[in-house]
Structure 1
């Protein structure tokens, strides 16, 4: 682990691993100060509450290495204490069901990031894998309530029309927590140069993923390809509104991918990712220090590295969370 990585604030903008002591130990090996950890995708309100309860139990059980994040100060404290801060996040607003009151309830539980749609349509708007009718009236209310209670709006899997309308509706910064540029590879999940500029021009934030099906060289990619994708976006929008969000799926098997790639987790198949093999050099969360080394190898300045590793995320979280 380089001295810079050891010293830097390191925030992974999206991990959807199978939560276990082994994964959390790997987060410590990787030097993660905090991570946005997915606790809901297709689940409704009740099952999502159960997921949150289970995650909080693990945070208590493994309090030697973990702490719950409610504020940016919690992230700084996690870093100072050599722990990893767990940010509770959803990849779908499905758990809000049709009840705006649930949004504040989840905020009280500690949820701090929610993606509006996961690939397809819900009550809020439309995902990236079907015809996009834009943000619903209810969706506008959802965004306003998320703004009020301090939950960040995530648009990573959201369709282009819904994303654009959400960016314009939100009074606080929104994000793509984990995306890649379609300028390097055409894919329904990747964002065009125009979309990337639009979110940045409106005060939003871009976390860059390394999920192999969306990378230019797919499963042949290395950590250097990941850094290249970050640089592509930074060259479009500047280095102050870009971070990283790996989308690690550590610990999951084929059954998990079957579940997340079927609409609502059980109906029609939306996509087939094929072989999932993370870029050479960053196959596991514990190899995250290699990302910093690859940034240094690419000639990045120390300030640019520190911003993209975590300082940018922390600044935008403070804007949204208000603390």
Structure 2
């Protein structure tokens, strides 16, 4: 089976996209053969604003139902594959929307949210992000982890501090993930994870989605799809071929004001980081170029079975474990 046929046949899951949601993007998802994606609907927003975002996303899914299916269960991902559509998983990049109400965890699960990152770069009521001194998981945070386990929402630790991450991994009775990260073994960066951290999450049944966000890659904005494959291979060597997948962190369609919002604490306070120019790796600049990744993996010696695992089957298995189906 050649790369084109394999990509067309495989389940392709992107563990994190935070793009500008519109028809043009959804058409590009279809062009890229994307079976499903974890789509961010909350970062700095509170409960009410996050609900408003979900209302908006529900309407977009309805308006573009020829291209999209809303995902609540892993069976919906398989259904999307059969229908030639893209499944939209709702995800948060911050648990800020839970506010101080444990009951909101169930509310958001009922609305279709399947993955929630515990913190985004800085401290919240649950724990600490990767850009601050890490105080670890709060006692309220332990309650939130238990409640997320109970209702079936996956804990994401991508932007979370090292100590808080370790304590969530130990606290959770279900697999947790770094939905989108890169190894600091290839480039030192506050957002990248050490070999030890990657080994620890994998050793406790967790999952690693490898991102291609250029500022975190070895060659920065000069990176190519081959640099991305190198990072995937690096993580597989540490975490194992069954616990690694894709989490691109596509920001397609967004302009500078969006990145200003993302890189300031709570969207408006102190600056946390400055990405500079943002250009995706050559060869996978847009979601529509996703088939190039399957080709690149094969070119770098990945077996057909391993390509299938990394491109989506691993995500599908771990999501079923957390969601219960």
Which TM bucket (shorter chain)? over 0.9
- How does 1:128-147 map onto structure 2 within 5 Å? 128-147=130-149
2:31 is aligned with 1:46: no
Aligned-partner SS, 1:239: coil
Q: Tell me the equivalent position of 2:232.
A: 230
Q: Tell me the equivalent position of 1:313.
A: 315
Q: How many residues in Structure 1 have an aligned counterpart in Structure 2?
A: 323
Q: Tell me the equivalent position of 1:300.
A: 302
Residue-by-residue CA offset, 1:184-232 (whole Å, 9 max, x unaligned): 0000000000000000000000000000110000011101110000000
The CA deviation at 1:238 is 1.1
Match of 2:205 among 182, 203, 213: 203
Q: Measure, in 1, the Cα distance between the counterparts of 2:61 and 2:185.
A: 39
- How does 1:23-34 map onto structure 2 within 5 Å? 23-34=25-36
2:194 is aligned with 1:221: no
| TM-score, structure 1 normalization | 1.00
Residue-by-residue CA offset, 1:77-122 (whole Å, 9 max, x unaligned): 0000000000000000000000000000000000000000000000
Aligned-partner SS, 2:69: strand
Q: Measure, in 2, the Cα distance between the counterparts of 1:260 and 1:51.
A: 16
Aligned-partner SS, 1:199: helix
Residue-by-residue CA offset, 1:117-144 (whole Å, 9 max, x unaligned): 0000000000000100000000000000
Q: Tell me the equivalent position of 2:10.
A: 8
Q: Measure, in 2, the Cα distance between the counterparts of 1:208 and 1:170.
A: 21
Q: Tell me the equivalent position of 1:123.
A: 125
Q: Tell me the equivalent position of 1:212.
A: 214
Q: Measure, in 1, the Cα distance between the counterparts of 2:67 and 2:289.
A: 17
Q: Measure, in 1, the Cα distance between the counterparts of 2:224 and 2:112.
A: 35
Q: Measure, in 1, the Cα distance between the counterparts of 2:142 and 2:276.
A: 36
2:284 is aligned with 1:282: yes
Compute the RMSD of aligned alpha carbons: 0.5
| TM-score, structure 2 normalization | 0.99
Q: Measure, in 2, the Cα distance between the counterparts of 1:238 and 1:319.
A: 18
Q: Measure, in 1, the Cα distance between the counterparts of 2:174 and 2:246.
A: 20
Match of 1:37 among 27, 36, 39: 39
- How does 1:182-201 map onto structure 2 within 5 Å? 182-201=184-203
Gaps of 5+ in 1: none
Runs of 4+ that moved beyond 4 A: none
Q: Tell me the equivalent position of 2:245.
A: 243
Q: Measure, in 2, the Cα distance between the counterparts of 1:299 and 1:206.
A: 21
The CA deviation at 1:60 is 0.5
Aligned-partner SS, 1:184: coil
2:93 is aligned with 1:91: yes
Gaps of 5+ in 2: none
Aligned-partner SS, 1:9: coil
The CA deviation at 1:236 is 1.0
Q: Tell me the equivalent position of 1:70.
A: 72
Q: Tell me the equivalent position of 2:154.
A: 152
Aligned-partner SS, 1:207: strand
Aligned-partner SS, 1:119: coil
